Amino acid sequence: MIANIAKSNSAQPAFRVGDERLVKLTSNAALKVSSLLNRQGRPNGVLRVAVVGGGCSGLQYKMDLQDAPANRDILVESAGVRVVVDPKSALYVTGSELDYLETLDGGFKVTNPNAATTCSCGESFTA
């Protein structure tokens, strides 16, 4: 699932490479993320998926577009998009699928097999 990668240049972040067993994007999500990265002038950027405390149920997802992986990140390529997850968040998102819905109540939706419960708005969960 995860292979260790050490960068030869110490100025570069050291990160590991994982696979889609950690996190997977649907084609709709990949198209949206690619579009957002290009719009921001980051065609080689990454989508950071993290889990932070908060929300109705105690944990919530945080997504951000960044230029590159940071130290200790796990990098996954899914549907042509580079996704990074920090090791702590990886404990909560392993096996998750990220989708994007173009509907009134749409946006990015995470299907997470580790979520024991979710709140009614679907924005937070417990593990």
Handedness of CA 76, 78, 82, 88 (dihedral sign): negative
Q: What is the pTM of this model?
A: 0.83
What residues contact residue 46 under an 8 Å CB cut-off, 6+ apart? 65, 66, 67, 68, 69, 75, 82, 83, 84
CA–CA gap between residue 120 and residue 94 (Å, rounded): 22
What does the block give as tokens for 79?
Answer: 């549907």
What is the full per-residue pLDDT of the chain (127 aa) written as tens digits?
A: 455 554 445 567 799 999 999 999 999 999 999 999 999 999 999 999 999 988 777 889 999 999 999 999 999 999 999 999 999 999 999 999 999 998 877 799 999 998 877 766 666 667 6
For residue 46, give the amino acid letter.
V
